Amino acid sequence: MQIDKLKVCCAVAAALMFRGNMVSAQEDSLRTRELEGVEVVAHRRPATTRSAAPLQVLDRKGIEQLCVQDLSEAVKRFSGVTVQDYGGVGGLKTVSVRSLGAKHTAVRYDGVTITDAQSGQVDISRFSLDNIESVALSIGQADDIFQTARMYASAGALSIRTAAPTFEDKPFRAYIKVKGGSFGLFNPTLRYEQKINRRWAATAQADWMQSDGDYPFTLVNGGLVTEEKRRNSDVKNLRLEGNVYGEMGKGGSLRAKIYYYDSERGLPGSVILYSNTANERMWDNNFFVQANYENALSEQWKVRADVKYNYSFTRYMDVNDKYAAGFQKDVNTQQEYYGSAGVLYRPWQSFSVSLNTDLSRARLSNNYVDSPMPKRWTSLTALALQYKTTRLTATASLLGTYITEQVVQGERPADRKRLSPAVSLSWRPWEEQGFRVRASYQDAFRVPTFTDLYYLRIGNTNLKAEKATQYNVGMTWSGEAGFLSFLSLSADAYYNKISDKIVALPTMYIWKMMNMGEVEMKGLDVNVHGEIPLPLDMSLALTAAYSFQHAIDVTDEKDKNYRDQIPYTPRHSGSASLALENPWVNIGYSLVASGDRYALPQNIEQNRIDAYVEHTLSANRSFTIKGKVKLKVQGEIVNLTDKMYDIIQYYPMPGRSWRLSVSLQY
Amino acid sequence: MKKNLLWAAAFGLLMSASLVSCDDDDPVIDNPDNPDDPNTPPTEEVVTTNGYYVLNSGKMGSNNASLSFYNTDTQEVTADVFMEKNERGLGDTANDMLIYGEKMYIAVYGSQVIEVTDLQGNSLKQIQSTTGSPLQPRFMTSHEGKVYVSLYDGYVARLDTASLEIETQVAVGRNPEQLAVANGKLYVANSGGLDYNTPLGYDKTVSVVDLASFTETKKLDVVINPCNMAVDSEGDVYLVSMGNYGDVPNTLQRIDTQTDEVETITTTNATELASAGDELFMMYSQYDANWNQTISYIRYDAINEEVITNEWITEPIAQPYKIGLDSKSGTLFVTESDYTNNGDVYCFTSEGTQTAKFEVGLNPIRVFAVSIQ
């Protein structure tokens, strides 16, 4: 089966290449696109090497070159991160930056952080990369001091930026894309962009995705090896998004968004030996509206504001006769109101100071008996100073946090107050060289989630915040080198410490959330990016990332896992990709590799998960029909070698699969 | 090497034994002193290997239940006998084990099977659901050639030890946990533990099942969330209700099986208990406001209904998990688990002197002393 699909894909690729020689009209358009791409790159790449804290960016060009389809695939290419991937299209995917844990990573969508006060982490599986301009990962304090206070509060941040519409010859643009693939993947997308007048534009997008998720895998149980199929792994979701863009000149710029997401999925659970029971299902609804306003009042003054209302609903259901009702149903509803305002003052060209303040109220209600229905007020204020010349960037910030909570019944945690400082420095020692050194320090923390505090029996309202301290030193270099038209290198070494880690601890019969863990991390992240111009209008882009993570549990000397590597954290991991751009058919190849990991805290053979390398091959080709309609055909083979592997133990990843998409833009 | 030879010899012996006896299996004469103590070892004359089987529950979803063996002669631990003998794992989340006659019964709750093995650990049968709804075995007890298994969907199944078939099942309360036979009746603790966050809440009954007709004759009212049980030599059933971990505390009760009256024991308390016939060995954990626990090890006179001591061991064990007892030798077992790392088993004489300590698998929940020929 898999081999047949591979053949189909190769045939499609060959057909594309053959047709490429016949159609001559497309060359010009391709070149235009490339030029646009280079421009974007030229703006962004140096920013990553100039940044005083580690910053990695995957822009539109990179996404297209490698046919990256969803956010988790993009993030897996970054250094210093581990993606916890439960497998399949609908499987939970969370991001942990430098072993700090997913709850320390903020995910930001068009400037505003996505929050989940209940679980404290964001499932990134639901973000498609269609219409995404860039995905950026920043670690520690970002150089941009003019942003929400929430961005100062996280140890790492993943920022997703959608593309603003651009209009060329006509006041609208329509786009349709259909994607299909293995395991019943069907994913149509529709987008319409309209220019209203000189200042205003609007876009609307609808996106449907479904997948049966019933992929085969090999189950190894001692000496017993069986071929199985993933069950109850289907997913269906609908995403609707509308945006309004306003450029009012002296009146500032406004960007508003309305977003709706609806999904139903099976939760396959971990593979259980000898059992085929999998009846858990999950329904998610998310609705939000957000607006961002920015205005440069003068050379010295800039103001910004964000507002957001977020509603999210989850329904979990497990059907089993062990429940009196024949099923268990958990319904959780969260609402959040959020506002942020900031001002930037730049008295001199090289010096600026900003003050940003956020206020939010989050509320959780659910169907549990005696639910405390917690309400949390969070006030964050960040004061930042920055000195910036072409050779030196120095930033210092101080974040003040105040949190208070209300409950309708039960215990309530004490109010929280905290000051968190951060400093960073980037220096270019030689004027004529693109070489920089950087150093940064950040004190961050995560507030206990509603689950940590209130969840039935296990919750503990006495919890303190979990603290994360980060130190980073690194160097970057970018410029031209030999036959490379562009080369950038970065290497960072870091030391992190997590204290008061929130963990579930067993007492004789009940589990309780406690501030019990301590984790120490030492690591190294290396990134290389190079571009090589080739004859015949071709070019080759190379990207590689390597991470070393030594993240050990230092909670208690008496524990058997004292100084053992924490679970799901490979010592060595990395990625590499090659993209060949040419006038005929663009080819992308990438690999993601991870060393051995442990599923449980004790580093013993039984808990070890094997290393893996996953290869992906992609091809795409654009055409212009009658000079008006842009057609793009794109195909990928994911997990080329049909490698059977787990990221999370007993949550097998899919073997070889294919995807094919066709898009039309008018 | 020496061990392997021993095993091979034992295996050979057992093979020949089973060739002779495989048709008229098991009905074993119960120990008259302690009629239904599942810990009763098989009474064998010829002894070749002495040791302890330890069932490790593993972690839910990790398929790492295992059966460790500690050889008391060589003091060596075989980490997973089941895997070694059968070249496949026991499965996910083992919950209980029973040695009865020449067989071992292991309830693997997560994998929804009951593994039946011989005393060497060779699988004889993996019992799966025959009813269409998943088999969710929790605890087991044995009586007159039958093994009774509580099933989490509200039943007790009767397993014939000769045919290894589930003959029938009887409906009891919600989420039944431990069960015990006394006075010709089967007592089943109905916890209702899975409904704790619904308006229905915990169950608070003990089902009484008449063994002859295998029907539930009545339900006794007890403190909410009854879980653990033990029977003394007089046929009294001692029952631990876990309460709601909040305003209803953990409570020890005694069921008089003549009258089926339930009495709360106020002189002491327990979470884990093991019967030595006339005495009970118990473990009780108390918590302070910060959830630090204090453990007491209570030795209880089940005839005169009084506490003998509150520290049958004085050895500090950081995270005690389960207790066990070999009534033949009087050896007491305390297992330790932090739910994270491999657990340990501590062995004591009935006077509290530590005789051995060894590492086993994750979450050791049952220990049995065996002599394997």
CATH number, residue A82: 2.40.170.20
Residue A322 is nearest to which of B59, B83, B175, comparing CB atoms?
B175
Q: What is the DSSP letter of A86?
A: -
Chain B residues in contact with A561 by the CB 8 A cut-off are 340-341
CA distance A534 to chain B (A): 51
Name the residue in chain A with its Cα closest to that of B155: A322
Q: Is B129 within 8 Å of chain A by CB?
A: no
Alpha helix stretches (DSSP H) within A419-504: 450-454
Name the least confident of A86-90, A360-364, A474-478, B52-56. Answer: A86-90
**What's residue A369's pLDDT?**
82
Chain A residues in contact with B110 by the CB 8 A cut-off are 272, 275
CA distance A651 to chain B (A): 10
- What's the rounded Cα separation, in Å, for the pair B151 and A476? 62
Q: What is the DSSP letter of B311?
A: B
Chain A residues in contact with B285 by the CB 8 A cut-off are 507-509
Q: Is A298 within 8 Å of chain B by CB?
A: no
Quick check: B63 and A509 CB within 8 A? Answer: no
Residues 177-206 of B with CB under 8 A from A: 192, 194-201
What's at A52, amino acid-wise? A
Of the candidates A504, A567, A582, A496, the residue with the CA atom closest to the CA atom of residue A536 = A582
Q: What is the pTM of this model?
A: 0.86
**What's residue A208's pLDDT?**
95
- Best of A275, A505, A564 to substitute, by most chain B Cβ atoms within 10 angstroms, is A275
Chain A residues in contact with B197 by the CB 8 A cut-off are 368-369, 456
- Best of A228, A320, A606 to substitute, by most chain B Cβ atoms within 10 angstroms, is A606
Angle among Cα A496, A501, A502 to the nearest 5 degrees reads: 150
Q: Please check the confidence at residue A34 and state whether its pLDDT lies above 60.
A: no
Name the residue in chain B with its Cα closest to that of A504: B339
Q: Please check the confidence at residue B23 and state whether its pLDDT lies above 50.
A: no
Name the residue in chain B with its Cα closest to that of A219: B88
Name the residue in chain B with its Cα closest to that of A277: B134
A134 φψ region: left (φ > 0), alpha (ψ -120 to 50), beta (else)? beta
Average predicted confidence (pLDDT) for chain A: 87
Of the candidates B150, B156, B243, B136, the residue with the CA atom closest to the CA atom of residue B193 = B243
**What's residue B47's pLDDT?**
53
Quick check: A224 and B319 CB within 8 A? Answer: no
Q: What is the mean pLDDT of residues A68-85?
A: 87
Band of residue A597 on the pLDDT scale cut at 50, 70, 90: very high
Band of residue A507 on the pLDDT scale cut at 50, 70, 90: low
Q: Is B134 within 8 Å of chain A by CB?
A: yes
- Asked if the structure places residue A14 within a domain, the reply is no
Under CATH, which architecture does the B49-372 domain have? 7 Propeller (2.130)
Domain boundaries, chain B: 49-372
Strand, helix or coil for residue B162: coil
**What's residue A47's pLDDT?**
67
Quick check: B197 and A325 CB within 8 A? Answer: no
User: How remote is the C-alpha of A333 from its chain's centroid?
Assistant: 24
Chain B residues in contact with A320 by the CB 8 A cut-off are 134, 136, 153
Residue B199 is nearest to which of A323, A369, A514, comparing CB atoms?
A369
Number of H helices, E strands in chain B: 2, 28
Tell me chain A's radius of gyration from C-alpha atoms: 25
Quick check: B338 and A559 CB within 8 A? Answer: yes
- Best of A321, A366, A564 to substitute, by most chain B Cβ atoms within 10 angstroms, is A321
Quick check: B63 and A325 CB within 8 A? Answer: no
Residues 596-655 of A with CB under 8 A from B: 599-602, 604, 606, 649-650
Q: What is the DSSP letter of A155?
A: S
As a whole-number percent, the residues of chain A with pLDDT over 90 amount to 60
Quick check: B86 and A222 CB within 8 A? Answer: yes
Chain B residues in contact with A275 by the CB 8 A cut-off are 91-92, 110-113, 134
Quick check: A275 and B290 CB within 8 A? Answer: no
Q: Please check the confidence at residue B136 and state whether its pLDDT lies above 90.
A: yes
Q: Is A219 within 8 Å of chain B by CB?
A: no
Quick check: B111 and A272 CB within 8 A? Answer: yes
Name the residue in chain B with its Cα closest to that of A553: B340
Q: Is A226 within 8 Å of chain B by CB?
A: no
- Asked if the structure places residue A16 within a domain, the reply is no
| Residue A522, Cβ density class (10 Å: 0-12 exposed, 13-18 middle, ≥19 buried) | middle
Strand, helix or coil for residue B209: strand
Residue A277 is nearest to which of B112, B126, B337, comparing CB atoms?
B112
| Residue B318, Cβ density class (10 Å: 0-12 exposed, 13-18 middle, ≥19 buried) | exposed
Q: Please check the confidence at residue A39 and state whether its pLDDT lies above 80.
A: no
**What's residue B241's pLDDT?**
95
Q: What is the mean pLDDT of residues B318-336?
A: 92
Chain A residues in contact with B59 by the CB 8 A cut-off are 600
Cβ-Cβ contacts under 8 Å for A535 (sequence gap 6 or more):
none
- Asked if the structure places residue A172 within a domain, the reply is yes
* Count of structural domains, chain A: 1
Q: Which residues are paired to A188 by β-bridges?
A: A178
How many beta-carbon pairs under 8 angstroms link A with B?
131
**What's residue B218's pLDDT?**
96
Q: Is B64 within 8 Å of chain A by CB?
A: yes
Is A644 in contact with A652 (CB distance < 8 Å)?
yes
Q: Is B153 within 8 Å of chain A by CB?
A: yes
**A101 or A25: whose pLDDT is higher?**
A101
Band of residue A451 on the pLDDT scale cut at 50, 70, 90: confident
**A451 or A341: whose pLDDT is higher?**
A341
Residue B242 is nearest to which of A321, A509, A604, comparing CB atoms?
A509
CA distance B290 to chain A (A): 8
Query: Domain range spanning residue A645?
Result: 55-665
Chain B residues in contact with A606 by the CB 8 A cut-off are 64, 361
Q: Please check the confidence at residue B42 and state whether its pLDDT lies above 60.
A: no
Beta strands A351-366 and A327-348, pairing class: antiparallel
Q: Please check the confidence at residue A421 and state whether its pLDDT lies above 70.
A: yes
Chain A residues in contact with B201 by the CB 8 A cut-off are 369
**What's residue B46's pLDDT?**
57
Q: Please check the confidence at residue A26 and state whether its pLDDT lies above 60.
A: no
For residue A666, the number of C-alpha atoms closer than 13 Å in the C-beta half-sphere is 5
Q: Please check the confidence at residue A505 and state whether its pLDDT lies above 90.
A: no
Name the residue in chain B with its Cα closest to that of A221: B88
A110 φψ region: left (φ > 0), alpha (ψ -120 to 50), beta (else)? left
Name the least confident of A307-311, A504-508, B97-101. Answer: A504-508
Residue length, chain A? 666
**What's residue A515's pLDDT?**
87
Structural element, H or E, at residue A26? helix A26-50
CA distance B83 to chain A (A): 7
pLDDT digits 0-9 by tens, A277-314? 888 999 999 999 999 999 999 989 999 999 999 999 99
Name the residue in chain B with its Cα closest to that of A319: B133
- What's the rounded Cα separation, in Å, for the pair A153 and A356? 12
- Asked if the structure places residue A3 within a domain, the reply is no
Q: What is the mean pLDDT of residues A105-134?
A: 87
Residue A604 is nearest to which of B83, B201, B342, comparing CB atoms?
B342
- Asked if the structure places residue A377 within a domain, the reply is yes
For residue A482, the number of C-alpha atoms closer than 13 Å in the C-beta half-sphere is 3
Residue A514 is nearest to which of B92, B192, B291, comparing CB atoms?
B291
**What's residue A45's pLDDT?**
46
- Asked if the structure places residue A423 within a domain, the reply is yes
Chain B residues in contact with A457 by the CB 8 A cut-off are 196, 245
Residue B285 is nearest to which of A507, A512, A558, comparing CB atoms?
A507
Q: Please check the confidence at residue A13 and state whether its pLDDT lies above 70.
A: no
Q: Please check the confidence at residue A11 and state whether its pLDDT lies above 60.
A: no
Beta strands A466-481 and A484-506, pairing class: antiparallel
Band of residue B5 on the pLDDT scale cut at 50, 70, 90: very low
**What's residue A27's pLDDT?**
33
